[in-house]
Chain A
Amino acid sequence: MRARLLAMMTCSAMTIAGVAQAETLTIATVNNGDMIRMQKLAGAFTEKHPDIELEWVTLEENVLRQRVTTDIATKGGQYDIMTIGTYEVPIWAAQNWLVPLDFAADYDVDDLLPAIRAGLSMDGTLYAAPFYGESSFVMYRKDLFEEAGLEMPEAPSWDFIGEAARKITDKDNEVYGICLRGKAGWGENMAFLTAMANSFGARWFDMEWKPQFDQPEWKEALQFYIDLMNDAGPPGASSNGFNENLALFQTGKCGMWIDATVAASFVSNPDESQVADKVGFALAPDKGLGKRGNWLWAWSLAVPAGSQKTDAAKTFIAWATSKEYSALVAEKEGWANVPPGTRTSLYENSAYQEAAPFADLTIKSIQAADPTSPTVEDVPYVGVQFVAIPEFQGIGTAVGQQFSAALAGQSSVDQALSNAQALTQREMEKAGYPK
């Protein structure tokens, strides 16, 4: 009896000791499909690493950005792993806010797509590991195109897109030729419009950091966008962001949609989309100037410099962004649901190519985007659909407001552009540019 009691006590003492050793990682992440899936599958990780416990803080994109930014800037130390984008990484790495990431050889860093890897590195050191990467491209309804006697080329021009959108619009039956982002925000309408403007030869700043909204290229791009949306866009477009357009497209109300490549797996999934079997894909349009209107983005995992659990955090990041994780998703949910856009090997995998009809154009789009030389003319900044300076979040959103007002018909294109020019000039002055 006594021996048994002793044995039990030892046992429980050991369990307590075991619990005391376990480290809890607090992970801040964004609430999109791929990240939610990772949380579901994280059991496979904790089984292998019983000494690490995971605690999730899942937030909507804008809220996440505010939380992690204030946390890291005030050295709050709430999170051990943060989900951040290609915009934040170079800025934060330059402030020494992130822990450099080094992985074991079997992680195969060289397998990461060069464009994505470059976006997440500074001076050759990786500061965040990509969970999924994306560019943007055209998604369109093959049935509507066929009815209208149109054929979508693999690499369409803006003129063709404009013509086709107007042709397939059938407002009486609630079919709108094209759905584009109109909701104000640097990560909403400005992501699309900046990428689009790049292909029109426009840019945010010249080499002296002087705003360029007074140049004819911006006027041409914005006028084209507004006219197109007025003729062929859905009503209320000025409050449509990614999610709103996704819902419109999935319910068969859009003929075309130019947006993130990750949307491809949602619109071609028969469980979620009424038009799953009718969707075709094409590269983002161009204007014949050598740049296409597509962006580059990667949601990535990084360790803030304040974390006390750096090693455990790196172990988790290595798992979540590994080939092993891709294989796990493929096994449980099918190849089409594997996080796209981060590894070359995925695009060489025939099983993936077969399951994901959009794979080929996704990789082509990602490779076509170059954050270090995003525009036709030279610019002093890095970033395709954003300008990688801390002030851009504020300026980008304020300019987005002006453009969204023009879309809503509340101001003219000229007015919106001159307001944008004035407010950008003002903010840059306040921030002390050129530096």
Chain B
Amino acid sequence: MATLQTRASARLMMTPAVVLLLLWMAVPLAMTLYFSMLRYNLLMPGMEEWAGFLNYRFFLTDPAFLTGLLNTLLLVGGVLLISVGGGILMALLLDQPFFGQGIVRLMVIAPFFVMPTVSALVWKNMLMHPVNGLFAWIARTFGLQPVDWFGEAPLFSIVMIVSWQWLPFATLILLTALQSLDTEQKEAAEMDGAGALSRFIYIVLPHMARAITVVVLIETIFLLSVFAEILVTTNGGPGVQTTTVTYLVYVQALLQFDVGGASAGGIVAVVLANIVAIFLVRLIGKNLE
């Protein structure tokens, strides 16, 4: 049992770390807030002046902003749907005993280790390219017109690439959950005459609920900031069809060198991410209790 003195000394010793961590977060956030109120363009030195909410007004009324917001949500939603749905199917498959299981499992997780830029380049130039790509070659073999993926279905193409990367993660987590399921339960249900589908719906799925929640939460955090795939393949286009909020902030910061505008965009993104987080925790966070 801790005495009053040891508790006090523990607090004292923890203080530097806590203060450091606070500063680590607070200083950048404060600076971003400060910059977001300035007219501050890197290319026009010496012109910094207080601008109030001007940057916010311009960012929020940007014609690309609403599209960006919608695209972000579509991207996150699409990838979650594919990776969780696909992940459940893959986990069920991989849970079956079959020859070469170890190697197959290793290959299934492989995409997760490929860097986003590299995988985007491979998808763009070797798979989805309408002249030289594999998909175009397959289409032509069957006498079909090749699809110009990034021109005709840009957002869908990005969702595909990102899903391909996150599917292994979902599969892995869901597979571990599946393996922790007690076989006796399943056997008992089988003896009671439950079909495969009802066994899945009433036993397997509820058992995986917690793992699914973890996957959804973690993926959402990372998917809200998907960037490399967009930059490499479509550059946010054509038009603003694949522009997300993150990409808009990038445009402000590194194409226009508008630090003020980018900071305002960053703050807006933080607020939006928090709204999504609250919504998620309310909706599915119950599973974690």
What residues of chain A have their CB less than 8 Å away from a CB belonging to chain B? 66, 69-70, 73-74, 91, 95, 174, 183-185, 234-239, 247-248, 253, 390-391, 393-394, 397-398, 401-402, 404-405, 407-411, 416, 419, 422-423, 426, 430
Contact = CB atoms under 8 A, between A and B. Distances in A.
Interface in B163-201: none
Contact of A236 (B63, B151, B236, B241): B151
Contact of A174 (B42, B131, B236, B241): B131
B14 interface: no
A364 B146 CA distance: 40
A278 to B, nearest CB: 20
A405 B148 contact: no
A238 B233 CA distance: 11
Given A184-B238, A235-B130, A410-B239, A391 B151 contact: no
Contacts of A184: 235-238
Contacts of A430: 58
7 contacts: A70-B42, A239-B124, A239-B150, A401-B238, A401-B240, A409-B152, A416-B239
B251 A238 contact: no
Nearest to A416: B239
Contacts of B28: none
B103 interface: no
B151 A73 contact: no
Interface in B231-252: 233-241, 243, 251-252
B43 A407 contact: no
A228 B152 CA distance: 19
B63 A419 contact: yes
B257 A239 contact: no
B151 A238 contact: yes
A419 B45 CA distance: 30
Interface residues of B, number: 37
B235 A394 contact: no
Interface string B200-242: 0000000000000000000000000000000001111111110
A411 B240 CA distance: 11
B41 interface: yes
Does more than half of chain A's interface fall in helix, strand or loop, or is it mixed? helix
Nearest to B55: A430
A66 B254 contact: yes
Contacts of B129: 236
B15 interface: no
Contacts of B131: 174, 234-236, 248, 253
Contacts of A405: 237-241
B256 A393 contact: yes
B43 A91 contact: yes
B183 to A, nearest CB: 51
A79 to B, nearest CB: 16
A245 B235 CA distance: 17
Interface in B243-289: 243, 251-252, 254-258
Contact of A390 (B63, B132, B251, B257): B257
A238 B130 CA distance: 11
Contact of B239 (A235, A391, A404): A404
Contacts of A69: 42-43, 257
Of B237, B252, B254, B258, most A-chain CB atoms within 10 Å? B237
A398 B240 CA distance: 9
A409 B256 contact: no
Does more than half of chain B's interface fall in helix, strand or loop, or is it mixed? loop
B238 A408 contact: yes
Given A183-B235, A401-B238, A401-B239, A394 B42 contact: no
Contacts of B258: 394
A191 to B, nearest CB: 15
B229 to A, nearest CB: 14
Contact of A404 (B58, B124, B233, B237): B237
A235 B235 contact: no
B63 A397 contact: no
Contacts of B42: 69-70, 73-74
Nearest to B43: A390
Contacts of B238: 184, 238, 401, 404-405, 407-408, 410
A423 B63 contact: yes
A251 to B, nearest CB: 8
B131 to A, nearest CB: 6
Interface string B148-159: 111110100000
B44 interface: yes
Given A235-B146, A235-B148, A397 B255 contact: yes
A185 B235 contact: yes
A91 B41 CA distance: 14
A44 B81 CA distance: 59
Contact of B251 (A183, A239, A391, A397): A397
Contacts of A419: 63, 239
B148 A236 contact: yes
Interface string B36-51: 0000011111000000
A408 B153 CA distance: 10
Contacts of A394: 251-252, 255-256, 258
A402 B243 CA distance: 12
Contacts of A426: 58, 63
Given A184-B237, A426-B63, 4 more contacts: A239-B150, A394-B256, A401-B236, A426-B58
Contacts of B130: 234-236
A408 B63 CA distance: 20
